[in-house]
Structure 1
């Protein structure tokens, strides 16, 4: 399962939104990945997500695989939209 988002936050995916996303998906058992520019990292790793250097206007893909994949994607979607990080692409 996967969903795409356009980052609308003026600062892009900097420390605060990265922390919010990592914290949101960490409780889930599923493998959750974030992809940008043909690179993919574990969304449960703050350093991995920060290393992607995702700017404002970028399109990212969040994918999940596992027993609670749908719930993990829904939680990530809620954080992205409610915190003003981005919109569904």
Structure 2
């Protein structure tokens, strides 16, 4: 796969590959755009990191409803999992 990702993007990709998800509030309310706590993620997270993974076609989305608010849960799709397997254990700059 010819994908040039930054260290932060690779860190998030590998964290997602362990069955984790990034949950974003997508309800038009004061919480719009809020990212739920990324429990266990030790890396540096910026929203643009998840945007890049999505733009590369590595994620899938599903809507969740929590206390009446719509959230979008992003996880890796098969292409993302395949890339994570290739990168796992490799050193990167």
Please give the TM-score of this superposition, normalised by the length of structure 1: 0.24
Instruction: Looking at secondary structure, tell me which structure has more strand per residue.
Output: 1
Kindly name which structure, 1 or 2, has the bigger radius of gyration based on alpha carbons: 2
Please give the TM-score of this superposition, normalised by the length of structure 2: 0.24
